Amino acid sequence: MAESVMHRAKRVDPVRPNMASRLLLLALRMQAGKVRKKKAAHAPRHDAVPETPTAEHGEDDITEIMREQAAASHRTQAGFLKALRKAMDAPSFPVGLSSLQVRRVVRVQVPGAAGPMAAKLYLPRGRIKGAVLFLHGGGFVHCGLNSHHGMCCRLARISGAAVLLPNYRLAPEHPFPAAADDALSALRWVSDLSRRFWGGAVAVAGDSAGGNLAAVVSQDAKAGLAPMPLLQLLYYPSLYGAREFPSHQHYAEGYFLSRRTMQWYGECYIAQPQDWSAPRFVPGESPDLRGLPSAVIITAECDPMRDEGAAYAKALRRAGVAVQYDCYKGALHGFLNFYAFMPYGKKALREGGRALRGAFAASR
């Protein structure tokens, strides 16, 4: 698979976000400011109440709220997580309209490592070419079947494959390796479904934390724990745990996802110190990447996690794995979630969907 890099000129970090990204950041800051003023006007002057996240907050705002919650009671923290998950699982485009792109969306129960998982199965029109396991992002802490609904509709339509979106267990209630174990169970299930109905071809995909899980189950499959995917499609993945990269510092704050938020996500997911270096949390540190599925890795230029995806692409190539790597100029982390008004979000979904379609066609 040939390399295709959307931003070839020598980069001098930090780069200014593109216009759509700047407008998004401005809108989030304005909305967050309005929310804070409204709360301040109604909150009692004594014993200030910790703020609750809403859909108007950006990742940096959520970080500040998390700091306020640090000293709160267990009950308040549970309320914070509930509010965070409600806000972050909001669809980026009306669910009903997104569903028009596919023949059918089926709610199913998928065997997980600790019991059944709710999931959605997206069936495209026409002859189904295989199956894709899509693992949603959200720092292992939030997002789910609504936040990534539109993305999966688009990927199913463009790839011509059935797409499974599982609701894997979330941290901190279910720390590592719960999400990875559920993802592996889902890969086994969807691989069997594809074998029974669609010729057996399967691929994995995911964004952010979901990109981590997609890379992890690809390595699990190489170890013989599940059928081998044809392709791993990784959108701005987290792959190296606590390892530092230059982009972590260049885009540490003010670019939607902050470095502090990344650290908080990691602390929620990783409960034991030794797990920070566990192979199923840091797939980028694997000493042997030979024999893994071909990869499409897409990163955002103004993202603290950008260099992780770039480093993994280089490591896979050195191991003889075919890789297509694209870095979207001026984009922010999580830009797929805003595809409804960011043209390059749609473009990245098209790129991934076409790569999946090509991989399925080549397997026949």
pLDDT digit string (tens) for the chain, length 364 residues: 444 444 445 678 999 999 999 999 999 888 877 777 776 776 554 444 445 555 555 666 666 666 565 555 566 778 899 999 999 999 989 999 999 999 999 999 999 999 999 999 999 999 999 999 999 999 999 999 999 999 999 999 999 999 999 999 999 999 999 999 999 999 999 999 999 999 999 999 999 999 999 999 999 999 999 999 999 999 999 999 999 999 999 999 999 999 999 999 999 999 999 999 999 999 999 999 999 999 999 999 999 999 999 999 999 999 999 999 999 999 999 999 999 989 999 999 999 999 999 999 999 8
With H, G, I as helix, E, B as strand and everything else as coil, classify residue 150. Answer: helix
pLDDT at 245: 98
Angstrom distance (rounded) from CA 356 to CA 31: 37
Domain covering 95-363, topology: Rossmann fold (3.40.50)
pLDDT at 4: 47
Angstrom distance (rounded) from CA 91 to CA 146: 5
Angstrom distance (rounded) from CA 120 to CA 307: 32
Angstrom distance (rounded) from CA 359 to CA 202: 10
Give yes or no for a contact between 182 and 113, defined as CB atoms under 8 angstroms apart. Answer: yes
pLDDT at 49: 42
Angstrom distance (rounded) from CA 173 to CA 179: 11
Q: How many CB atoms lie within 10 A of CB 107?
A: 9
Residues marked active site are found at: 208
**How far apart, in Å, do the first and last CA atoms of the chain sit?**
18
Matching residue, tokens 């075919």: 322
What sections of 127-239 are H helices per DSSP? 149-159, 178-197, 209-222
pLDDT at 119: 98
Query: If we measure between CA atoms, which residue out of 163, 148, 140 comes closest to residue 237?
Result: 140
Angstrom distance (rounded) from CA 129 to CA 145: 23
Matching residue, tokens 């692409």: 313
- Which residue ranges make up each domain of the chain? 19-88, 95-363
With H, G, I as helix, E, B as strand and everything else as coil, classify residue 34. Answer: helix
Query: If we measure between CA atoms, which residue out of 281, 343, 292 comes closest to residue 320?
Result: 292
Angstrom distance (rounded) from CA 58 to CA 335: 12
Provide DSSP, 71-82.
TS-HHHHHHHHH
DSSP 8-class letter at 274: G
